[in-house]
Amino acid sequence: MQANLLNAVDAAEAIRDGSLTSTELVEACLARIEQVDGNIEAWAHLDPAYALQQAGVADEYRQMGGPLGPLHGVPVAIKDIIDTADMPTENGTVLYSGRCPSTDATLVSLLREAGAVILGKAVTTEMAVFSPGKTRNPHNPEHTPGGSSSGSAAAVAAGMVPLSVGTQTNGSMIRPASFCGVFGFKPSHGRISRTGVLAQSPMLETPGVYGRSLEDLALIAEVLMAYDAADPVMKPQARPHILSVMAEEPPVDPHLAFVRSPVWDEADVVSKDAFRELIDHLNENGEHVDIVDLPTAFDEAHETLRVVMEADLAKNFAKEYRDGKDKLSTVLCDMIERGQQVLATDYNAAVERAADLNAMLDMICEEYDAIVTPSAIGEAPKGLESTGSPTFCTIWTLCGTPALNLPVMQGENGLPIGAQLVSQKGDDARLFRTARWMLKKLEE
């Protein structure tokens, strides 16, 4: 197998045991980029020589017998709204063209501490909202890769890098994972630090990770889920033991809730059929999945997220709007302008409603190990003028639950369709265990 197609777990293991060097791995990734990226354009910033220099340092360090972190020598791509001290961070807009932050985001520091090579910065939509960047879907360049973490998902899908980091404020992690056919993980809100990440909407925004296997996501998530006192929503707590919990067999077969959600009607016919098949498959040897309808209170979830997000964009992007409105997209300006009109009482009522919905989800999660639900409305839509609808991610972002995309289905155009697995806020490690069980079940 070409080194660039190795899973991160295997690559890290090979680098540790000396059968592969970080330099060889990074060279393979760069060659793959050279070969395919002309059609995909996943990168906002890539300096091959600097990537190889980092890999060389990692290899030297290993030769000297230094202690090796879990990602030693493994390249990772970083969404271009996450600060890096040694590369530009341009937030997907000309307003930040050439911006070079002076410090790494906390999550980048954690990756460096774990030994990772920061391969480059991956394309984001404009300010991580809706207006697309240049990236195309690796499965078909006429289709969108999804957004806002477009480059992060596409680069992993195309074999250019084994791991990447993105963020989600509505559907920005799980939707691109589904469209590009990779594994994606958005942890519980407040479990990966946002220090040094473009501030959009503090109650919603959550960094997440992409990889080509569930194990790879677990490996990098465990590195990143560390307490950071500088992020005010984080609470001091130990890192979840995702790798070890995931490796356990569930004590009893998990019980899943298939939640079609209030936006089921928006799903494609092909996607609906694929889900029916998936549920039938999981129920083949024993009833593992119930169809569960969310309480009607969830019908307001999309409006609730809209109120919070638009008011937050109006505040956090006030300077960009004031000084550079003519350089922002119409879609973003419209959101900001609506956000400027939101009343504080409505905003705070929305924040409270999100907490109420969360309490209802907790009750569902007492009965079920996880929720299965679509990641997106179907295959990646044709065209590059939109990154597709985040609608199937909205509830889970609003509630801050952990969510995984499992790339287990296909649509009529041969593009991937993902299943989203969700559990109770804070139950990240068990979600991985349930996902592993489900993947095994689907192979039977």
Would you call 148 a catalytic residue per the annotation?
yes
Q: Which of residues 351-390 bind its own copies (CB under 8 A)?
A: 352, 355
Q: How far is CA 51 from the centre of its chain?
A: 23
Kindly state the tokens that stand for 113. Answer: 């501490």
251 binds its own copies (CB under 8 A): no
Give the nearer residue to its own copies in terms of CB position, either 94 or 229: 229
Q: Cβ–Cβ contacts within 10 Å for residue 137, how many?
A: 29
344 binds its own copies (CB under 8 A): yes
346 binds its own copies (CB under 8 A): yes
Are 438 and 256 in contact, with CB atoms under 8 Å apart? yes
Give the nearer residue to its own copies in terms of CB position, either 347 or 437: 347
Give the nearer residue to its own copies in terms of CB position, either 322 or 444: 322
Which of 45, 272, 281, 315 binds its own copies (CB under 8 A)? It is: 315
Give least dist CB 340 to its own copies, A. Answer: 6
Which of 39, 103, 285, 341 binds its own copies (CB under 8 A)? It is: 341
DSSP character at residue 202: T
Give the nearer residue to its own copies in terms of CB position, either 281 or 338: 338
103 binds its own copies (CB under 8 A): no
Give the nearer residue to its own copies in terms of CB position, either 78 or 307: 307
Give the nearer residue to its own copies in terms of CB position, either 86 or 352: 352
Kindly state the tokens that stand for 72. Answer: 């030693």
Q: CA distances (Å), 49 to each of 32, 53, 91, 102, 112, in order?
A: 15, 6, 23, 21, 18
Burial status of residue 251 (CB atoms within 10 A of its CB: 0-12, 13-18, 19 or more) = exposed
Cα-Cα-Cα-Cα dihedral of 107, 109, 112, 116, to 10°?
A: 10
Which of 340, 386, 410, 413 binds its own copies (CB under 8 A)? It is: 340
Report the distance separating Cα 403 and Cα 435, nearest Å: 10
Which of 314, 361, 384, 421 binds its own copies (CB under 8 A)? It is: 314
Give least dist CB 338 to its own copies, A. Answer: 11
Which of 114, 128, 311, 377 binds its own copies (CB under 8 A)? It is: 311
Residue linked to tokens 């109120």: 307
Which of 230, 348, 382, 440 binds its own copies (CB under 8 A)? It is: 348
Considering the candidates 79, 121, 425, 441, report the single residue annotated as catalytic: 79
Would you call 172 a catalytic residue per the annotation?
yes
Report the distance separating Cα 78 and Cα 89, nearest Å: 10
Nearest to 273 by CA among 179, 370, 181, 378: 378
Q: CA distances (Å), 382 to each of 83, 133, 407, in order?
A: 32, 15, 19
List residues bridging with 208 in a β-sheet: 166
Give the nearer residue to its own copies in terms of CB position, either 39 or 348: 348
Are 268 and 381 in contact, with CB atoms under 8 Å apart? no
- What x-and-dash track marks residues 221-250 binding its own copies by CB under 8 A? -----------x--xxx-------------
Are 171 and 394 in contact, with CB atoms under 8 Å apart? yes
Give the nearer residue to its own copies in terms of CB position, either 297 or 355: 355
Would you call 244 a catalytic residue per the annotation?
no
Length in residues, the chain: 444
| Dihedral pair phi/psi, residue 211, rounded to 5° | -160, 180
Give least dist CB 236 to its own copies, A. Answer: 6
Give the nearer residue to its own copies in terms of CB position, either 22 or 201: 201
Report the distance separating Cα 283 and Cα 280, nearest Å: 5
312 binds its own copies (CB under 8 A): yes
Total number of residues binding its own copies (CB under 8 A)?
Answer: 22
Kindly state the tokens that stand for 129. Answer: 């909202």
List residues bridging with 290 in a β-sheet: 257
Are 412 and 270 in contact, with CB atoms under 8 Å apart? yes
Which of 345, 366, 414, 443 binds its own copies (CB under 8 A)? It is: 345
Give least dist CB 197 to its own copies, A. Answer: 16
Q: Cβ–Cβ contacts within 10 Å for residue 290, how many?
A: 14
Give least dist CB 240 to its own copies, A. Answer: 16
Considering the candidates 22, 131, 148, 164, report the single residue annotated as catalytic: 148
Strands 206-211 and 183-186, bridge-based pairing: antiparallel
Give least dist CB 410 to its own copies, A. Answer: 42
Which residue numbers are catalytic?
79, 148, 172
Q: Which spans of this chain sit near its own copies (rule: CB under 8 A)?
A: 232, 235-237, 311-312, 314-315, 318, 339-349, 352, 355
